[in-house]
Structure 1
Amino acid sequence: MDWHQTIFELIDMRSFSNLWFWIALAVMWSTASHWVLGVPWDIVLRARREGGQFETDFEDLVRIYTGRLLYIARVSGLWLLGFACFFLTLLGMLGFLYGFEFGQALFLLGFPMAIVGALSLNTARLIRERGEHGEALYRRLHRHRIIVQVIGMVSIFVTALWGMFQNLAVGPFG
């Protein structure tokens, strides 16, 4: 028996039974929760607590990242939306219609993040339109972060249920 076969028997390379998939899922959602519209959450907390230059830097960062998101949406938003819909449809069909487990795993990673992307774009638009700063800006970003965390919890729950179902249905030697 060669060493490749031994490794593949020892480490299951399917998506939902692979430890790396679950690590990637956890890192993806913790990162999405920490970086609110591109601004690290610790900067938001420090600006709210200490004010002064920290608050000025925070509002500048929000202005920069909000402008960046809105510029990308204005310049190439339709193309990005088209490609995202194409790839999510492709992954959904490959995964759930044709039973390709890797497609299911990528769809369960990508679809909730597409929702977070749309939410981020809407939050950036609201901040720009209303000219929010100070306490209103803190509340807006806090609300955005809570919604992202709820989406993440639901996504992890659904992915875990589907992954357990796949692992039980396929069995240990798939």
Structure 2
Amino acid sequence: MSILQLIFDLIDMRSFSNLWYWIALAVTWSTASHWVLGVPFDMVQQARRRGGQAAEDMMTLTGVNVRRLVMIGREAGAMVALGAAFVLSSLVVLGFGYGIEFAQAVALLALPLAVVAGLSLRMAARIAPVLARDPSPEEVARLLMRHRLRVQVVGIVAITITALWGMFQNLRISILH
């Protein structure tokens, strides 16, 4: 038995029947909805409840991450978008055009994350001028919570589509064998 065969036996490349894929999917969306523009959601909640130092920390972290995202969008946005479009379209063609299940699984994870990345860049561009005029922490927290809700909606839709597609694939393969 070759080392490559051993690796493929240990890591089931039929992704939709693999427990690790579903764990990774859950962790990915849990993390995406917890870290809103790089600010942990519990920090946003603490800022709203307690104010004071917690609000200052949230505002500082939001400012740093928003400036970083806006700078990345301006300086490398086109190249990142082109690279992401190439990778995502390759995954879609390999997965759904050629029927490679691993590419389907990665595409169903990566495509919605690309949507979240776009939403994050858009929200960062929206928050940047707000931060420049010294807003209240409540206003910034409200914008972060609105963005979190959008990320959660994308996540729910993505998980639902992935689960339906995964069930379809597993049923199709079990019927064929």
Letter aligned with residue 19 of structure 1: L
Pair 1:137-2:154 in alignment: no
Unaligned runs of 5+ in 2: none
Distance 2:63 2:6 in 1: 53
SS in 1 for 2:25: helix
SS in 1 for 2:17: coil
**Retained in 1: the 8 A contact 2:69–2:121?**
yes
Distance 1:164 1:27 in 2: 20
The range that moved more, 148-157 or 163-172, is 163-172
Distance 2:26 2:12 in 1: 19
SS in 2 for 1:56: helix
- Shift in CA distance, 87/6, structure 1 to aligned 2, threshold 3 Å: closer
Structure richer in helix, relative to its length: 2
Letter aligned with residue 81 of structure 1: A
Report the Cα offset of residue 159 of structure 1: 0.1
Query: Aligned runs of 1:1-174 on 2, under 5 Å?
Result: 12-131=12-131, 132-171=135-174
Report the Cα offset of residue 8 of structure 1: 7.4
Letter aligned with residue 110 of structure 1: A
Report the Cα offset of residue 11 of structure 1: 7.8
**Retained in 1: the 8 A contact 2:37–2:62?**
yes
- Shift in CA distance, 10/116, structure 1 to aligned 2, threshold 3 Å: closer
Root-mean-square deviation over aligned CA pairs:
2.3
- Shift in CA distance, 45/7, structure 1 to aligned 2, threshold 3 Å: same
Q: Which runs of 4+ in 1 moved over 6 A?
A: 4-11
Unaligned runs of 5+ in 1: none
Q: How many percent identity over aligned positions?
A: 54
CA deviations over 1:83-123 (Å, ceiling 9, x no partner): 00000000000000110111100100000000000000011
Letter aligned with residue 139 of structure 1: R
